[in-house]
């Protein structure tokens, strides 16, 4: 038995509408899954909200400062291009250290986004802003109670240093370490 043409057209229209609604639903689900909002800050996966910023600590991969920077940038989406983290306030620094301890990562050297590679002794973040020197960010220790950074031209990249309780230290940029990305 063959259905009248009007009925076939009606069924095709219903399928078309169903497929259209399904497509809109999937698109909306994708948008909702891409970001999770915590405390007013929306972070895409694999980033977590830490101190109002979107942070991802890669504790699996190790690379030079530049390689970890490229790994961060490889996490780009249509909204932003991540880079190594900028730790530019005491409050955020405390939140980041708490996050590191919460996941038991305090035994890892972690690249951050500061360097004096362009001009020795002038530490800048990747966006060109000046890095605050001394306490409370940079390590102070060793036998001579020396304030970091003290690495000269052989240590031009910054890390959170587990030997110095996660304070900043200058390090050889070619060392293979983990890194922290900021979205």
- The structure's pTM equals 0.77
Nearest in space to 108 (alpha carbons), one of 67, 57, 72: 57
> Do 131 and 115 meet the contact criterion of CB atoms below 8 Å apart?
no
d(CA 39, CA 95): 14
The pLDDT tens digits for 96-121 are 999 999 999 999 999 999 999 999 99
Q: Model confidence at 150, in pLDDT bands (50, 70, 90)?
A: confident
The pLDDT tens digits for 165-176 are 999 999 999 999
d(CA 134, CA 140): 8
Pick the CATH number of 39-182 from 3.40.630.10, 3.40.190.10, 3.40.50.300, 3.10.100.10: 3.10.100.10
The pLDDT tens digits for 67-101 are 999 999 999 998 889 999 999 999 999 999 999 99
Largest CA distance in the chain: 97
DSSP state of 132: P
> Do 126 and 84 meet the contact criterion of CB atoms below 8 Å apart?
yes
């Amino acid at each position: 038995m063959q259905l009248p043409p009007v009925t076939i057209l009606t069924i095709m229209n219903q399928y078309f509408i169903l497929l259209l609604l399904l497509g809109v639903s999937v698109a909306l689900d994708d948008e909702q899954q891409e970001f999770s909002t915590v405390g007013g800050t929306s972070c895409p996966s694999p980033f977590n909200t830490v101190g109002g910023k979107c942070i991802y600590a890669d504790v699996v991969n190790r690379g030079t400062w530049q390689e970890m920077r490229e790994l961060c940038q490889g996490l780009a989406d249509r909204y932003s291009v991540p880079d190594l983290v900028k730790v530019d306030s005491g409050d955020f620094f405390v939140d980041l250290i708490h996050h590191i301890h919460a996941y038991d990562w305090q035994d890892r050297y972690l690249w951050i986004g500061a360097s004096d590679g362009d001009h020795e002794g002038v530490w800048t973040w990747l966006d060109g802003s000046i890095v605050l020197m001394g306490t409370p960010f940079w390590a102070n220790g060793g036998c001579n109670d020396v304030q970091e950074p003290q690495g000269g031209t052989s240590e031009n990249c910054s890390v959170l240093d587990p030997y110095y309780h996660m304070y900043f230290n200058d390090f050889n940029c070619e060392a293979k370490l983990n890194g922290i990305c900021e979205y």
